[in-house]
Amino acid sequence: MTGALDGIKVLDLSRVLAGPWCAMVLGDLGADVIKVESPEGDDLRHFGPPFEKGESAYFMVAGRNKRCVVADMKTDEGRALVRKLALTVDVLVENFREGTLEKFGLAPSDLRKENPGLIVCSVSGYGRASSMSARAGYDFVIQAESGLMSIIGDEDQPPMKVGAAVTDIVAGQYATQGVLAALFHREKTGEGQDIDISLLDGAVTLLANQGAAYLMTGESPKRLGNDHPTVCPYRPFETSDYPIALAIGANRQFQKLAKAMDLPEIAKDERFATNPSRVENRAALYEVLEARFITRTRDEWLVALHAEGLPAGALRSVDQVMDAPELAERDMVTTVEHSTIGPTRIVGSPIKMSKTPTSVRLAPRPLGADNDDPNWL
């Protein structure tokens, strides 16, 4: 089987994570991706430790399914090579500072004079059409400026970031969606277009219900740690050995929770009858649930809760989830043959398609690995 984007060529001029993430997903979907790096290489190659035989674990995050070519765009030869590539591809992904494409002779409007169907996806911290377009944007700064950190952590503690680069990743996902939509438009019209993706814009969408609550009420959300502002009970609970994560939203689920925990009285208590009443009386409810959960082990509770079809799970560490059988069943952790490291495990694609499946065809490549391959041009 071939991927859904078989025959589509992508030029990845981006660095670090958001742009490379977009190009990687397009590669997973079957596109032929050529990643062009400077002689120093993508910054991700230098983020570490850990390193294995000189290769950065961080580069493995978004480096698969791409051929790697080195071109020094500070030279006439390097710029000419990249321009030649840009005139042959369907999609160009970049995250240079504003005006850099023009400086390199790669202005999208000029490229489209010879390649009218070219789609150019630009990823930046604050967006090309922004008064802050010249500012650099990194995940941690965007997490801070988007308000995301203000809702993470306990109320009596400083704001906290998410432990992974979520604003980069969500921007990369939106960039992928934009490219796919632009390809669909081009299929109908033959026209290429520009896509402007901002890390800040994407991060604001992560506020979700918290952002909507402010827009409705004018009240800025407070940090609640692992609790939920509008759904209850929706937090971890200690058991007799390991903690459990419980997410009960619907009233019918709460009725089943009362049954699973052998607490029929809470199902009849007016303080807990509806979700709004449970939110209002959360302290009283938690007192009852905490006392009950501590009487049995985590696994015993999970059996009882899952028997009722309730959303509950273990609080797992990274090593526990990476080795979990349900990930293996779905090829979410796959072994690739890296030309420097040898066999190495990486995270696979979460997109599962019946007719045009995603695939991992290339392990992340060493810097300049494909410069001498005549097939990439």
Catalytic residues: 168
Cα(103)–Cα(110) distance, integer angstroms: 12
Question: CB–CB of 46/55 below 8 Å?
Answer: no
Question: CB–CB of 66/35 below 8 Å?
Answer: yes
* Structure tokens belonging to residue 262: 């052998």
CA angle 219, 221, 222 (to 5 degrees): 125
Which residues partner with 72 through β-bridges?
none
Q: In 3-state terms, what secondary structure has residue 104?
A: coil
The single residue listed with the structure tokens 């791409």 is 66
Cα(326)–Cα(280) distance, integer angstroms: 37
Cα(233)–Cα(224) distance, integer angstroms: 13
Cα(340)–Cα(364) distance, integer angstroms: 10
Cα(135)–Cα(119) distance, integer angstroms: 24
Cα(326)–Cα(224) distance, integer angstroms: 31
